Amino acid sequence: GGIIMAVKQLERQDWTKDGRKWIFYDYIKNLDGTRRKYKSKKFFTKPEALKAEREFLTTNTERADKDRNMTFKDLYTLFYAYKEDKVKFTTLKTYRDRQKFFKNLENVKLKDFNIEHFEKWKKEINSYGYTTNHKNHLFKFFKELLNYATKWYNFNFTATYNKMTNFTNPNEIPKEMLFFTYDEFKKFISVEDNILYKTMYETLYYCGLRRGELRGLTWNDIDFKNSYLSVNKNVVATRGDEDKSYMVTTPKTKSSVRNIPISKVLLDDLKELYRVSNNHYGFNNSWYVFGDTEPITNGKIRCRKNKNCELAEVKQIRIHDFRHSCASLLINSGATINVVAKYLGHTKIDETLNTYSHLFKNQMNEIINIIDNLN
């Protein structure tokens, strides 16, 4: 029904070198009723082209029927399978975790999807008490699913898509970013007498590493001669934080691969830790700096931190907040945004600006001083 087919012989100049000269083309209906042209590859003989055309038709009609009844659950499954060999393990894990947010849409057919469905979904997400930021991550992901359906299965959501708006909450109080000032960090580190942990928290604070980057450091990554460390791996917990199971992946983004200079305090402690580690049986430079043949677990990093915060009587911050503390230290000491971005391994400086804009406010007043001094 409604498919115009044709097999034809091409003009001489369009034959392939080895003499393939027959093609078939046809107009296939999109799911929304519009049509698009399909042109086959080239064949040697007319019967060959006709046979291929028949196969194409059958599979296409079958597929079209299947696609026409595709539900959100089907879409999610297809999307996941497509992404499986294209994104990082951690990203896939996020996709798996997000499936639960689409439970209520599972049986909705894509061809029936409309703005009411979306508004209902939004209401549901709003009931969970997430931050606006987190909700908009889910919204962005929703759009990614629809875009996938558009690109690979020719659905057309334009009418609904244009009405979909993101989450806003003008009354939301932005969450305070927690970090240690230099004095707080000094207090925190003063209660730590174990060289492994002391060096570890110093590395987090002075180098601003992400947790997985810290866990991924091996002694091969430490250049004692030129005093820098090289970030080139990421260790990800595959099960719970306390669990020993992990996998080593590439860092978060291309820009995350970076060399970071090591300050003198940290360098001395790393040398000491190296000396201690060297005494362990079977030690070699491919051992993890914080660990042995295996990296230290997330649970250990966290427990020890909690204990130290109590002992030192400083506020509890997360491991990732050491990275914020590092950024804050750099910014307040007058480092430029470009340098901070490079140091933290951000891809674009707007990432740095968006995350740390409130810290740059202090530098605004300095501008007046600069101008005043000119006059």
The pLDDT assigned to 170 comes to 81
Lowest mean pLDDT among 13-17, 57-61, 102-106, 270-274: 57-61
Residue 235 Ramachandran class (φ > 0 left, ψ -120 to 50 alpha, else beta): beta
Residue 110 Ramachandran class (φ > 0 left, ψ -120 to 50 alpha, else beta): alpha
Beta bridge pairs of residue 29: 35
**Cβ pair 151, 30 in contact under 8 A:** no
Instruction: Please name the residues in contact with 344: beta carbons below 8 A apart, sequence gap of 6 or more.
Output: 208, 323, 326, 327, 352
- The values of phi and psi at residue 117, to 5°, are -60, -45
Cα–Cα distance list, 110 to 136, 153, 356 (Å): 22, 11, 40
- The position carrying tokens 């305070």 is 176
The pLDDT assigned to 202 comes to 98
Distance between alpha carbon 192 and the CA centroid of its chain, in Å?
Answer: 33
Tell me the per-residue pLDDT of 287-328, one tens digit each, with 9 for 90 and over. 999 999 999 999 999 999 999 999 999 999 999 999 999 999
**For residue 232, what are its two tokens?**
């080139």
Tell me the per-residue pLDDT of 244-294, one tens digit each, with 9 for 90 and over. 789 898 888 888 999 999 999 999 999 999 999 999 999 999 999 999 999
**Percent of the chain residues past pLDDT 90, beyond the cut:** 65
First to last CA, the chain: 81
**For residue 179, what are its two tokens?**
């970090």
CB atoms within 10 A of CB 165: 10
Tell me the per-residue pLDDT of 180-210, one tens digit each, with 9 for 90 and over. 999 999 999 999 999 999 999 999 999 999 9
- Determine which helix (DSSP H) or strand (DSSP E) holds 70, and give its type and residue range: none
The pLDDT assigned to 67 comes to 77
